[in-house]
Structure 1
């Protein structure tokens, strides 16, 4: 699975929620403030986040507010980059697989998958499912979709994820069976099927068809105004059971304050991407519900291991020991998350949870720096307001490093060029990643030929271990190889992973069925077909 859309910058545009009169919006906000005061004075206890509110009820329209992409928005599921794109695509389309809460692939349109003994050929059996126009989903639709995504003339999001597939040699064995031939053994091939943006569309679909899209998802298209609103309605024939809601409307509100005020004012029932301060202000106060999606984003510092001073593993270990992770979590993320242990994917499948938690040890850090001849080290830490907590974390780590005799100069760069330029050229940089399988994180960020290798971790023996894992059919044996790789990264890698941030959404107290244990962009995230209004 490729990176979450949030792990790259999202373009924000000012403006209120579409379709809401500004005077009414502000009036609603003022009324909410007064109402919040009454709640603080003493009202009944609000139901907790885990309260499902009894049996699901059918009917009603839910309005969900997301940050959007302006007039350039599209319903082409292969082009999406934002969370709004991903949520709309999930409503209208299906993938062959998706990621569970532990980031292991779960079957969706694929009823099952079976590899050959050498793991370079996989047979996928499709479940009985239909597109919104009544046509069955077939193997030819799957191959058409994947070939479209990998068009060398286009920049579709899932193209890199589908790279292991030899699509020219892959074939439809029958209407409900696809045989994928791969370029090399790929034990984690189901992760490819679950890749972000790898949606299945009807064979022959053209760009013009996305004006009125036809998918196989839980909702059918009604209307779309780019940068403003998208309305969909229940698909009664959905293979996984018809949604409870009659209609779902995605509305665009680029500013967090606009999303919060619309939620508090009753103009939407779901608000995506709230900050920790907002969550703390409203959690448990009885007016709205705060839902925390745990382990949704890795927060770290990336050390370039191919250049001084971080080409010396003793310096990298010293920086691991300088970090007070609890202080970073509390100060940069208002405590909204869990501390990290210098490894990606806490709680995910294959995560090396048996490794001891690393704690601050300034004496040991000074000793290591002296051994490396870097006791008077001066280093620049690049950061930017491009992501929540970046600038705050940089300042906190600067002060922590000073206690070990390291002078850190914080340099704040442009949001527009941070991911494309500053991160690549800096020696020590703030870094964030969304949820993905640990195998995907390794293949995309830590191999010698990885295209987004932010730490410049280039080790042929490490590459060989990855290939060994991908050629190992027995899952227990494969897990042992991933464990070896993570032990090495924990000891001398380039990611100082100090925390895992919660992704925060807010809902009306009427909303039920929102998953509370699903990292952002997993199967149960933004899964509005399972939501209902009490």
Structure 2
């Protein structure tokens, strides 16, 4: 299982003909520029120039048919998430290194115990002119935390004691927490943790947010039209209008981009990128480090309950061959740790290289010579079946026989979470701390490697109780050294997320992984 919009790669909807009809066959009127914050996250592609006001941008995303929604707390598809970002704001969002950056929150400050945080809001207004207040924040979070609803951010907000949290004035929220939480800002930036007006329930007819665009119209599975919010707190967008169009097939998105019917095409393949990069028709933008690619070993059952077998499998993998073959080179090699390039990543550990002799020695020590193991995979995600076949051949060189088993798309993530011993796995961007808490603690509900160690849990709690950032980073580094030595994730690569834009596009942020602030951020767009 993998988190963020990346965990919904499949969705029904319009095929190519239906999409082109929805687009009306009209030529694209402009171009997209996704500009970001200053610093590394703000690095852009497509050239610069002086922003120009006016025009409509058309952006093509895969959709979800009738299940699509403008409810920002229910967003799960990439299209849902991009539309939510245009209409609504969060208190914080993630920068390119997955560190939380303030948005509607002007500041946050903890008490000495790190179990109570004070958030002060910046001056911002909803589309109806009413100010964003602390009551709106508490209503939004309590709605998300409703145990009777399946809102995406509910698990992320679990550390909050919302019954004890309060609003002492209109622009101050005092959050009570159930336990010390040094990484509290990550809760504010959690996927789907958008602020909506107090009492809001209906979002698909005339949703009111505080985002850079205002609602005009929405037809699920087809299109959504938004208009510039001139009163936006972060500066009015340059575009007059922003339209989202649905095209489920990658070929439909590409054809519409090449034909001038759209200016932005989300989620293109490495093959498409190779075919069009540098050819002059369109611009290819690669969002680096957007998806961890790995094999997950169940550490609680044979043969992977023996850490010598796990280490041997680390040494069987030729990571460059996997990136070149399974990702068509659209990525970079991993080092058996999540979050390359993210805040707190342990980049000082030596890069693991293939060592078949050492792998054979470890397997012999573990009494696992001639080992046979089943590797579960599926066409549920790009590169999974290719990676399985490549690793099967790599393992055979050390006498390990890997049987590749194909699973169904619909049940793959749930099936492999609890069953089997070895499976293909990937994850979207999230803070390293969230990766620990969601996947590697004894109580984690998506613990695909069944990694359960009380001393590891204690280190996580120590980190969360540590106020000093450097001291906390040292604890995270210790946890990562343990995982690098004997963990259950064989992280072989990090895939690029690939976008296509018209040549007139300016300022596309290309250092922002998918799911971060500058991914699909349309509020700084201008048409060249």
TM range (shorter): over 0.9
Aligned twin of 2:216: 222
Q: Give me the whole-angstrom Cα distance separating, in 1, the residues matched to 2:22 and 2:134.
A: 49
Match of residue 262, structure 1, among 256, 262, 272:
256
How far residue 9 of structure 1 moved from its aligned partner, in angstroms, is 4.3
2:377/2:388 contact within 8 Å kept: yes
> After the TM superposition, which residues 385-534 of structure 1 pair with which residues of structure 2 at under 5 Å, given as runs?
385-534=379-528
1:8/1:419 contact within 8 Å kept: no
Q: Does 1:244 align with 2:244?
A: no
- Tell me: CA distance 1:385–1:98, structure 2 relative to 1, closer, same or farther (3 Å): same
Match of residue 111, structure 2, among 106, 116, 121:
116
1:17/1:259 contact within 8 Å kept: no
2:140/2:198 contact within 8 Å kept: yes
Deviation track 1:387-432 (CA, whole Å, cap 9, x = no partner) reads: 0000000000000000010000000110001012234212100000
Q: Does 1:213 align with 2:207?
A: yes
- Structure 2 counterpart SS, 1:168: strand
1:272/1:505 contact within 8 Å kept: yes
- Structure 2 counterpart SS, 1:244: coil
Q: Does 1:61 align with 2:42?
A: no
Q: Which moved more, 1:3-12 or 1:50-59?
A: 3-12
Aligned twin of 2:189: 194
How far residue 18 of structure 1 moved from its aligned partner, in angstroms, is 4.8
Aligned twin of 1:33: none
- Tell me: CA distance 1:398–1:340, structure 2 relative to 1, closer, same or farther (3 Å): same
Q: Which runs of 5+ in 2 are unaligned?
A: 28-42
Aligned twin of 1:92: 87
How far residue 55 of structure 1 moved from its aligned partner, in angstroms, is 1.2
Aligned twin of 2:38: none
Deviation track 1:476-513 (CA, whole Å, cap 9, x = no partner) reads: 00000000000000000000000000000000011112
Q: Does 1:11 align with 2:11?
A: yes
1:9/1:415 contact within 8 Å kept: no
Q: Which runs of 5+ in 1 are unaligned?
A: 29-47
How far residue 20 of structure 1 moved from its aligned partner, in angstroms, is 2.4
Aligned twin of 2:136: 141
Q: Give me the whole-angstrom Cα distance separating, in 1, the residues matched to 2:227 and 2:488.
A: 47
Q: Give me the whole-angstrom Cα distance separating, in 1, the residues matched to 2:192 and 2:23.
A: 38
2:416/2:448 contact within 8 Å kept: no
The TM-score, its normalising length taken from structure 1, stands at: 0.94
> After the TM superposition, which residues 219-368 of structure 1 pair with which residues of structure 2 at under 5 Å, given as runs?
219-368=213-362
- Tell me: CA distance 1:17–1:142, structure 2 relative to 1, closer, same or farther (3 Å): farther
Count residues with an aligned counterpart: 512
Q: Give me the whole-angstrom Cα distance separating, in 1, the residues matched to 2:321 and 2:203.
A: 51
- Tell me: CA distance 1:214–1:49, structure 2 relative to 1, closer, same or farther (3 Å): closer
Deviation track 1:221-261 (CA, whole Å, cap 9, x = no partner) reads: 01000000000011010000011111100000000000000
1:384/1:412 contact within 8 Å kept: yes
Larger relative contact order, structure 1 or 2 (CA cutoff 8 Å, min sep 6): 2
Aligned twin of 2:365: 371
How far residue 386 of structure 1 moved from its aligned partner, in angstroms, is 0.1
2:93/2:100 contact within 8 Å kept: yes
Deviation track 1:259-301 (CA, whole Å, cap 9, x = no partner) reads: 0000000000000000100000000000000000000000000
- Tell me: CA distance 1:354–1:19, structure 2 relative to 1, closer, same or farther (3 Å): closer
Q: Give me the whole-angstrom Cα distance separating, in 1, the residues matched to 2:191 and 2:397.
A: 42
2:165/2:175 contact within 8 Å kept: yes
- Tell me: CA distance 1:447–1:17, structure 2 relative to 1, closer, same or farther (3 Å): farther
- Structure 2 counterpart SS, 1:415: coil
Deviation track 1:338-387 (CA, whole Å, cap 9, x = no partner) reads: 10000000000000000000000001000000000001100000000000
How far residue 52 of structure 1 moved from its aligned partner, in angstroms, is 2.5
RMSD (CA atoms): 1.6
Q: Give me the whole-angstrom Cα distance separating, in 2, the residues matched to 1:284 and 1:156.
A: 42
Q: Give me the whole-angstrom Cα distance separating, in 2, the residues matched to 1:194 and 1:24.
A: 37
1:79/1:197 contact within 8 Å kept: yes
- Tell me: CA distance 1:432–1:181, structure 2 relative to 1, closer, same or farther (3 Å): same
How far residue 8 of structure 1 moved from its aligned partner, in angstroms, is 4.5
- Structure 2 counterpart SS, 1:507: strand
2:61/2:265 contact within 8 Å kept: yes
Match of residue 74, structure 1, among 69, 75, 100:
69
- Structure 1 counterpart SS, 2:508: coil
